[in-house]
């Protein structure tokens, strides 16, 4: 629960906005502020005080105990300009709360905790298991001391301001080593353990074999990415439980696929039982990589035949290509997932003007490869090449990166040796639609009028089809200085099937600072209003201008039918 405390009328107004926005998370404390702060401090996990920091410091000073248990406290000033994370930045969640409160009240979050304020990733938030002196090495990073990266294998890491040499080190390794005093170990998910098991093999036998094999080979169980086996063993309890205890998934492959993998130790037994001469070695080797431990059988104290086999492979590092849509422009239309991917990337590839849009969100140390308009193919190639070299890459585009943008040229270049993660963004047609009203309430298409890469005949055929099918059309790339006849031509084709009074929305720079829009008609549209920063949405024969908003009915019968009335 978040306790809310205020003293003045302005404070109470801001307080009420939080209380209304988060009814289940907040509780208002009324009465004298001193008592209110004391009660809230005792009863809540977090406090938001609409009071001066000085006042709050004095009130909570005698109440402070341990940083692990104290509530997080945020102060908001009288004018509502700042949300200050005062105490409990990490443990009490005050930094995050200051950001949330800031967003809600349009106040600037003020965060002074070191790792957050300089944008450094906490070493324990990189998405890898860590061991060793996290606090010591983090402090060294913050103090600007040289911290070396000792990567024993290539792996796509987020950006870290690391040096070649230094008294401190971040060591990326899957080997079973102990961290030195000034060292943090990062465990990449680089090991695949192939397992085979007879029906009814006990989990202890499977797990014991896996653990012993890793120990003898000097490998860390924390780098195991998965247990791999044959489809027929997907539900084998001993394997399922061993995986659960290791905290990794069971990944299965068909016997046919496994039979096609070259292995050093094929045998007849699995061939008869499940249809492949190798389970453990083949399953471990399916994705390629280096066989570190060939097939090994469990040993049973009672001398009965072994029921489990395993083999260990170090898989090749897979680069990571995130194709990230930034939305139409406004920061709050950039999705949290896009933001996370931007921070996950060590290499950012994009058009210079889009890079400018999000530069402040990047982590220090991010390598930025920006280029100008027209270099699409080159950008796509660069992004894929960096990912294939094992990097974590973000390729950015405005709106949705898959809509008239970088995703298709990049994926046309990409091979299956990299992971590709798509992050959808709010495309211009949707951003414009929300400004205009509800123009896309029924079937709609987007058509780009750029004939640089598409022959005009093709574009015209599509416009004609949309016109005949009475579909709402949004034109992207509608008009530029050198391309001015295409839009009038396309509108004329639509006018052949729609009244001159058909509503048309023209939106320029949707969600950007100089956003403008107008609602006009097919008969009255002046192409001079339109440029490359604009989308033009033409209604269908049912679209209406209702109270200045463009509305396309859900269906021709929907609104009068009984169902529609519900």
What residue ranges bind ligand SAH (CB under 6 A)? 328-329, 397-400, 403-405, 427-428, 431-432, 476-478, 507-512, 532-535
* Closest distance to ligand SAH from the beta carbon of 504 (Å): 14
* Closest distance to ligand SAH from the beta carbon of 103 (Å): 21
In 3D, which of 476, 483, 299, 301 has the Cα closest to residue 400?
476
* Closest distance to ligand SAH from the beta carbon of 375 (Å): 15
In 3D, which of 188, 189, 265 has the Cα closest to residue 227?
189
Q: Would you state the structure tokens that stand for residue 263, as one six-digit string?
A: 């292995």
* Closest distance to ligand SAH from the beta carbon of 395 (Å): 12
Residues 449, 538: Cα–Cα separation, whole Å: 14
> Which residue lies nearer to ligand SAH by CB, 51 or 403?
403
Any residues with CB less than 8 A from the CB of 561 and at least 6 apart, and which? Answer: none
Residues 392, 426: Cα–Cα separation, whole Å: 23
> Which residue lies nearer to ligand SAH by CB, 283 or 491?
491
* Closest distance to ligand SAH from the beta carbon of 160 (Å): 31
Which phi and psi angles does 315 have, rounded to 5°?
Answer: -80, 155
Helix spans in 289-443 (H): 336-344, 352-358, 376-388, 407-413, 428-436
Residues 297, 213: Cα–Cα separation, whole Å: 10
* Closest distance to ligand SAH from the beta carbon of 373 (Å): 11
In 3D, which of 206, 189, 188 has the Cα closest to residue 197?
206
> Which residue lies nearer to ligand SAH by CB, 509 or 521?
509
* Closest distance to ligand SAH from the beta carbon of 331 (Å): 13
Residues 456, 460: Cα–Cα separation, whole Å: 6
Residues 46, 28: Cα–Cα separation, whole Å: 12
Q: Tokens 């929907």 belong to which residue? A: 558
> Which residue lies nearer to ligand SAH by CB, 210 or 487?
487
> Which residue lies nearer to ligand SAH by CB, 124 or 515?
515
- β-strands 503-508, 516-521: how paired? antiparallel
Helix spans in 106-172 (H): 114-117, 134-142
The residue number whose beta carbon is nearest to ligand SAH equals: 399
- Bridge partners for 549 per DSSP: 546
> Which residue lies nearer to ligand SAH by CB, 427 or 552?
427
Q: How many CA atoms lie within 13 Å of 53's alpha carbon, on the beta-carbon side? A: 9
* Closest distance to ligand SAH from the beta carbon of 442 (Å): 21
Residues 163, 486: Cα–Cα separation, whole Å: 54
Radius of gyration, CA atoms only, the chain = 30
> Which residue lies nearer to ligand SAH by CB, 307 or 429?
429
> Which residue lies nearer to ligand SAH by CB, 431 or 467?
431
> Which residue lies nearer to ligand SAH by CB, 87 or 405?
405
Helix or strand holding residue 1 (H, E): none
* Closest distance to ligand SAH from the beta carbon of 490 (Å): 13
Residues 364, 117: Cα–Cα separation, whole Å: 11
* Closest distance to ligand SAH from the beta carbon of 449 (Å): 9
Residues 445, 466: Cα–Cα separation, whole Å: 8
* Closest distance to ligand SAH from the beta carbon of 481 (Å): 13
> Which residue lies nearer to ligand SAH by CB, 196 or 350?
350
> Which residue lies nearer to ligand SAH by CB, 188 or 350?
350
User: Listing from the earlier edge strand, what are the strands of the sheet with 534-538?
Assistant: 444-448, 472-476, 534-538, 503-508, 516-521
Our measurement of the distance from residue 490's CA atom to the centroid of its chain's CA atoms, rounded to an integer in Å, reads 38
* Closest distance to ligand SAH from the beta carbon of 404 (Å): 4
Q: Would you state the structure tokens that stand for residue 356, as one six-digit string?
A: 């400018």
Total residue count of the chain as it appears in this document: 566
> Which residue lies nearer to ligand SAH by CB, 239 or 426?
426
> Which residue lies nearer to ligand SAH by CB, 140 or 403?
403
* Closest distance to ligand SAH from the beta carbon of 280 (Å): 47
SS3 553: coil
Residue 85: CB atoms within 10 Å: 28
């Amino acid at each position: 629960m978040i306790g809310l405390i205020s003293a003045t009328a302005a404070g109470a107004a801001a307080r009420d906005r939080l209380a209304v926005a988060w009814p289940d998370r907040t509780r208002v404390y009324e009465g004298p502020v001193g008592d209110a702060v004391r009660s809230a401090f005792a009863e809540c996990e977090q406090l938001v005080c609409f009071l001066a920091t000085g006042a709050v410091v004095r009130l909570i000073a005698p109440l402070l105990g341990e940083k692990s248990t104290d509530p997080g406290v945020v102060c908001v000033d009288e004018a509502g300009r700042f949300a200050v994370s005062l105490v409990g930045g990490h443990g009490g969640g005050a930094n995050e709360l200051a950001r949330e409160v800031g967003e809600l009240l349009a106040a600037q979050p003020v965060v002074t905790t070191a790792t957050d304020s300089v944008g450094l990733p906490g070493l324990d938030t990189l998405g890898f298991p860590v061991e060793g002196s996290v606090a010591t090495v983090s402090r060294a990073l913050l103090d600007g001391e040289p911290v070396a990266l000792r990567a024993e294998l290539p792996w796509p890491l987020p950006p870290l301001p690391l040096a070649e040499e230094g008294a401190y080190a971040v060591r990326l390794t899957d080997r079973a080593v102990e961290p030195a005093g000034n060292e943090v170990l990062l465990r990449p998910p680089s090991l695949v353990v192939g397992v085979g098991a007879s029906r009814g093999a006990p989990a202890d036998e499977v797990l014991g074999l896996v653990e012993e094999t890793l120990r003898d080979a000097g490998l860390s169980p924390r780098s195991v990415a998965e247990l791999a086996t044959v489809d027929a063993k997907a539900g084998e309890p001993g394997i399922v439980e061993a995986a659960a205890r290791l905290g990794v998934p069971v990944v299965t492959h068909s016997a046919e696929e496994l039979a096609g993998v070259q292995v050093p130790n094929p045998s007849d037994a699995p061939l008869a039982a499940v249809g492949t001469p190798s389970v453990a070695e083949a399953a471990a080797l399916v994705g390629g990589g280096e066989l570190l431990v060939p097939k090994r059988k469990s040993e049973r104290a009672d001398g009965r035949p072994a029921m489990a086999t395993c083999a260990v492979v170090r898989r090749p590092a897979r680069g990571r290509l995130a194709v990230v849509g930034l939305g139409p422009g406004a920061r709050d239309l950039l999705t949290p997932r896009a933001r996370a991917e931007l921070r996950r990337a060590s290499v950012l590839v994009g058009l210079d003007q889009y890079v400018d849009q999000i530069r402040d969100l990047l982590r220090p140390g991010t390598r930025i490869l920006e280029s100008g308009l027209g270099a699409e193919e080159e950008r796509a190639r660069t992004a894929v090449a960096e990912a294939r070299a094992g990097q974590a890459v973000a390729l950015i585009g405005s709106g949705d990166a898959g809509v008239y943008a970088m995703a298709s040229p990049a994926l046309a270049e990409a091979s299956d040796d990299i992971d590709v993660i798509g992050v959808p963004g709010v495309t211009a047609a949707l951003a414009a639609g929300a400004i205009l009203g509800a123009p896309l309430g029924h079937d709609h298409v987007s058509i780009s009028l750029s004939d640089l890469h598409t022959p005009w005949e093709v574009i015209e055929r599509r416009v004609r089809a949309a016109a005949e099918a009475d579909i709402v059309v949004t034109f992207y790339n509608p008009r530029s200085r050198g391309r001015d006849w295409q839009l009038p031509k396309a509108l004329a084709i639509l006018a052949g099937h729609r009244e001159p009074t058909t509503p048309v929305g023209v939106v320029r720079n949707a969600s950007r600072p100089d956003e403008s829009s107008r609602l006009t008609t097919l008969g009255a549209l002046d192409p001079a209003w339109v440029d490359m920063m604009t989308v033009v949405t033409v209604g269908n024969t049912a679209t209406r201008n209702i109270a200045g908003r463009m509305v396309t009915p859900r269906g021709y019968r929907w609104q009068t039918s009984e169902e529609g009335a519900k």
